[in-house]
Structure 1
């Protein structure tokens, strides 16, 4: 099976969220870099380092085969021809569930290499003060 080559970080990100929505482990791992320095932090989870550990974390999450409704908004992009950082608001819910799930804030980092753009880091956290963070125009204190 030929592995896809993502020609932009945005293509890799679309494949990431598609794999997440379908709970498709093979598709998910095709998005990730094969380097062992990859990092994944699931919401309220520990830091997972290394391709095997990242693979295992997604395998466990997808074990039930649940499909998700996933949308991304408010993408902020920074980067250059070798590295791209995307900060997004994730909206994840079960299809048919009318409840509005709290959004997640995610930072996805992609590196460009001989096999196209690949994810090297995903960090998602619950958005505690989404409305304040989106509308606040004054100075922000960053740690």
Structure 2
């Protein structure tokens, strides 16, 4: 089976969210870099470092085979020819669930290498309830 080659970080991101929506572990892991320095932090979850830990977390999440409705908006992208970061607002819900899911804020990082663009980091967190997504337009000090 030929592994896909993502020619842009945006292609890799589309494949990531498609795999998430389909609960497809093989497709999900084709998006991730095979380097052992990858990092994944699921909403309210622990920091997972290394490809084995990342794979196992997705395997557990996908074990039920549940299909998800996934949409992404408000992408803020930056980067260069070797590294890209995307900050997005995620809406992830069970497929066919009519209720609007609470938004998540996610940062995805991608590196370009000999096998195309691959995800090296995904960090998703619940969006603060007191701040509707996309409405804060000034600097905010967090540390």
TM-score bracket, normalised by the shorter chain, equals over 0.9
Tell me the C-alpha RMSD between the 2 structures: 1.2
- Partner SS, residue 122 of structure 2: strand
2:137, 2:67 → 1: CA distance? 37
Shift of 1:132: 4.4
The correspondence of residues 124-139 of structure 1 with structure 2, limited to 5 A, is 124-129=124-129, 131-132=131-132, 134-139=134-139
Runs of 4+ in 1 over 6 A off after TM superposition: none
- Partner SS, residue 16 of structure 2: helix
1:91, 1:83 → 2: CA distance? 25
- Partner SS, residue 101 of structure 1: coil
Q: 1:137 to 1:66 in 2, by over 3 A?
A: same
Shift of 1:130: 6.8
2:38 aligned with 1:16, yes or no?
no
Q: 1:115 to 1:141 in 2, by over 3 A?
A: same
Deviations 1:5-33 (A, max 9, x none): 00000000000000000000000000000
2:44 aligned with 1:44, yes or no?
yes
Report the TM-score, using the length of structure 1 for normalisation: 0.96
What is the number of residues matched between the two proteins? 143
The correspondence of residues 89-128 of structure 1 with structure 2, limited to 5 A, is 89-128=89-128
Aligned to 2:78: 78
Q: 1:3 to 1:138 in 2, by over 3 A?
A: closer
Q: 1:113 to 1:139 in 2, by over 3 A?
A: closer
1:22, 1:62 → 2: CA distance? 9
1:40, 1:138 → 2: CA distance? 28
Q: 1:23 to 1:133 in 2, by over 3 A?
A: closer
Deviations 1:26-75 (A, max 9, x none): 00000000000000000000000000110000000000000100000000
Q: Is the 8 A contact 2:127 2:133 kept in 1?
A: no
Deviation larger for 123-132 or 108-117: 123-132
